[in-house]
Amino acid sequence: MAGASKDVYVVIVAGGTGTRLWPLSRKKRPKQFLNIFDDKSFILQVYQRTQKIVKPDHVFIVAPENYSEYIKQYLPEFPLTNFMGEPVKKGTTAAYGYTATYIKQLDPDAVLHIIAADDFIVDEAKYANALSHAAKLVEEKDSLVIYGVKPADPNTGYGYVQVLLPSKAENGLVESYLVKSFHEKPDLATAQGYLQSGDYFWHVFGFTVSIGKLLSLIDQFDPPTGAVLKEIEADMKLPSRLEAPRLAEHYEKLVESDIDTKVLEKSNLATYMVRLEDSWSDVGTWDHVYNLKEKDTAGNVIVGDKGKVLAVEVSGSIVIPGGKPIALVGVKNLVVVDAGDIMLICDKTKAQDVKKLINLLKEKKLDQYL
């Protein structure tokens, strides 16, 4: 594409609740604001990572309006003028569309990286190169670019993307492919087949796209949402946001919509995938945390005060003590998490099922533990 490179912005999507990292991830402090790996929260690490990719004032965060209090507490360096607070959750189409509509007023030709607030990355330079290449592909191909990781195992917790292996291109150390098809979270047998075939990748949250392309795709495949976004745009008076009551009126008209299934996967737009480094993780469950942390000689991981864990013949477990000591004897492959007011004990292989406890707490109206 001829002409100067377009300005690139990052949109950090921070509205999740991280229920599978319960009981530490709670309404009072969702996962992305936890600091499980060091003294920095997930969102702080992601925010600092973006500073190597775009200009500091080109980073936006979208999340429910009440998350602004979390941002103030756990990410004080972030300018709240770039916080896109939603009055209510109406799905990713609305969240991304609202944010894109605002940035469009600042820079109608911008390219957006839409990324998660809790990605774990080891090689940050390689990650920055991958996103820079994604932006280049968007400009050169007028396309959508998604992110993928080569599967390390037949994981049933991720969606998968199938690529055309002959389309492989390498730019420096960054691999990219044309996308053939998208696949929802599979059962184990299907995931094993994906792994053996060699042309499937884990579908990582997020994508890179131009603002114009994103909004036109929403108009085409989700016209009701597109119409509301146009109303929001007509009401915008930069540099200020819409008044909260007025924005809430617009959001009341929206029907919840997931942009992946409602818009992106229905598009016949040529879609590319850039491969992220293999160390990537969404740290979605406690077994993911275990896999990423350093182990002792018995294969145990202790997060926090090791002096509060008394272990005899314990192996392959992750233990996170709270205010009181935890004593364990003759057990293996456990997750033990003390959140102070409630404790989780589960088989590490069942870590995906922690989310079921959230449903149980809701059924029993034990909202104080959510």
332, 316 contact by CB (below 8 A): yes
Q: Does 253 lie in the same domain as 306?
A: no
Q: Does 331 lie in the same domain as 252?
A: no
142, 213 contact by CB (below 8 A): yes
What pLDDT, on a 0 to 100 scale, did the predictor assign at position 1?
A: 33
Q: Does 276 lie in the same domain as 347?
A: no
For 26-77, what is each residue's pLDDT tens digit?
998 999 999 998 788 999 999 999 998 999 999 999 999 999 999 999 999 9
* 2 within a domain of the structure (yes/no): no
Q: Does 49 lie in the same domain as 185?
A: yes
* 187 within a domain of the structure (yes/no): yes
* 3 within a domain of the structure (yes/no): no
What is the chain's Cα-based Rg?
A: 21
Q: Does 271 lie in the same domain as 296?
A: no
What pLDDT, on a 0 to 100 scale, did the predictor assign at position 40?
A: 87
Task: Determine the average pLDDT of the residues in 124-128.
Answer: 92
What pLDDT, on a 0 to 100 scale, did the predictor assign at position 267?
A: 85
Q: Cα(289)–Cα(31) distance, rounded to whole angstroms?
A: 12
Q: Does 273 lie in the same domain as 157?
A: yes
Last residue of a domain, one of 281, 300, 330: 281
Q: Say which CATH number the domain at 267 has.
A: 3.90.550.10
What pLDDT, on a 0 to 100 scale, did the predictor assign at position 4?
A: 41
* 114 within a domain of the structure (yes/no): yes
What pLDDT, on a 0 to 100 scale, did the predictor assign at position 154?
A: 92
Q: Is the pLDDT of residue 2 over 50?
A: no
Q: Considering its fold, how many domains does the chain have in total?
A: 2
For 278-325, what is each residue's pLDDT tens digit?
889 999 899 999 999 999 999 999 999 999 999 999 999 999 999 899
* 168 within a domain of the structure (yes/no): yes
Structural domain including 51 reads 8-281
Q: Does 300 lie in the same domain as 256?
A: no
For 232-276, what is each residue's pLDDT tens digit?
999 887 766 778 888 999 999 999 999 988 898 888 888 999 999
What pLDDT, on a 0 to 100 scale, did the predictor assign at position 39?
A: 80
Task: Determine the average pLDDT of the residues in 222-236.
Answer: 94
* 322 within a domain of the structure (yes/no): yes
Last residue of a domain, one of 256, 281, 306: 281
Q: Cα(12)–Cα(365) distance, rounded to whole angstroms?
A: 32
* 333 within a domain of the structure (yes/no): yes
Q: Does 90 lie in the same domain as 29?
A: yes
- What is the model's pTM? 0.93
Q: Does 180 lie in the same domain as 292?
A: no
What pLDDT, on a 0 to 100 scale, did the predictor assign at position 269?
A: 85
Q: Does 190 lie in the same domain as 309?
A: no
125, 25 contact by CB (below 8 A): no
Q: Does 263 lie in the same domain as 307?
A: no
What pLDDT, on a 0 to 100 scale, did the predictor assign at position 138?
A: 95
Q: pLDDT averaged over the chain?
A: 92
For 157-193, what is each residue's pLDDT tens digit?
899 999 999 999 998 889 999 999 999 899 999 999 9
* 31 within a domain of the structure (yes/no): yes
Q: Does 338 lie in the same domain as 319?
A: yes
Q: What ranges make up the beta strands (E) of the chain? A: 8-13, 59-64, 83-86, 111-116, 144-149, 160-171, 174-183, 200-210, 271-275, 301-302, 309-312, 318-320, 326-329, 334-338, 343-347
Last residue of a domain, one of 259, 281, 303: 281
